[in-house]
Amino acid sequence: MRIYIRTPLVNKSKMIPHTVEHCAGFFNKKINEFFDFSQGLEWEISTDYTCFEFDRWVKYEDMMEHLFQSIKKEYVAYEHKVLKEELWDPEYVQKIYEELLKVFLDPEYNINKYNSVTREEVKKYHKKYYKPENAIVVDEEKGYKVIFEWFNPKEKKSKKLEKRKEKFKFKDNKYIVYILNHYNGENYRKAFFCYRILDYYMYLINRYTNQKYYYQSNYFFKQEDTLFVLVEDADYSKLDKEFF
Ligand SMILES: [Zn+2]
């Protein structure tokens, strides 16, 4: 089961929502309670939501209560060191995402750099966003069935979709970036489908033509109103144009 909470950036920085994610998911149970309340299987924070995964036998109401209870000050102090370590050398995917945001949206974006934040900032943010009005619970084993939904993720309003294609270079790797502004649900699903197909296409080329073992080379990102589909810069001329 998963709880998704809407957690926007603060002044284009992820530091406060990221600290809140660590503190809200803090495992404060005794170790022998582990199997009664298995919470932190996986947490994930993106630039506009945070996802907490938990076992199916845990009632979602209990999980919500756990996440929404006020954050203890010792958690903030404890997690500072953990965050510093995590952000000391972020993964490639995090670095390339930040670079994309800086280049194509705003140079002010900060996703990976460690900044210290105060306990008050953490508490204020937690109080503002960690509440049922901001949450959706889904059961991914039942085809992402929505179990609890306070707000309806509505289709985007009628701003016209803008598409563009750019070249992008990052650490000696060359990409083509498809940028979609003002996307709606349908555009999102189509873009995700194309990303998966092109990923599989690159796998076949690399594996069976270039004699390479495959590594992930394509990426799919979103930030607020913008989608990015990043694909390895290659010859796609053999793909059926009409299909796309
Ligand atoms: Zn983290």
Residue whose pair of structure tokens reads 């994610």 in the numeric block: 21
* Element at 89 (helix H, strand E): none
- pTM, 2 dp: 0.84
pLDDT for the residue 210: 83
- Give 1 Cα–ligand 1 centroid separation in angstroms: 20
**The domain 162-232: what is its CATH number?**
3.30.200
* Element at 113 (helix H, strand E): none
In whole angstroms, give the CA distance from residue 55 to residue 33.
Answer: 14
- Give 212 Cα–ligand 1 centroid separation in angstroms: 32
Is 97:111 a contact under the CB 8 Å cutoff?
A: yes
State which amino acid sits at residue 229.
V
- Give 17 Cα–ligand 1 centroid separation in angstroms: 10
- Quote the tokens at residue 147: 């179990």
Listed in order, the ranges of the chain carrying CATH 3.30.200 are: 162-232
- Give 96 Cα–ligand 1 centroid separation in angstroms: 17
* Element at 146 (helix H, strand E): strand 145-149
In whole angstroms, give the CA distance from residue 202 to residue 160.
Answer: 31
Q: Which CATH architecture has domain 2-149?
A: 2-Layer Sandwich (3.30)
Tens-digit pLDDT profile for the chain (244 aa)? 899 999 999 999 999 999 999 999 887 666 677 666 666 567 888 888 999 998 888 888 988 998 999 999 899 999 999 999 999 999 999 999 999 999 999 999 999 999 889 999 999 999 999 999 999 999 988 888 888 877 665 555 678 899 999 999 999 899 999 999 998 888 899 999 999 988 888 888 888 888 888 677 799 999 988 999 999 888 888 776 666 5
Q: How far is CA 98 from the centre of its chain?
A: 12
pLDDT for the residue 244: 58
Residue whose pair of structure tokens reads 């290659």 in the numeric block: 234
- Quote the tokens at residue 105: 């949206």
- Give 42 Cα–ligand 1 centroid separation in angstroms: 11
- Quote the tokens at residue 108: 């002010």
In whole angstroms, give the CA distance from residue 9 to residue 19.
Answer: 12
Listed in order, the ranges of the chain carrying CATH 3.30.830.10 are: 2-149
In whole angstroms, give the CA distance from residue 27 to residue 34.
Answer: 9
pLDDT for the residue 153: 58
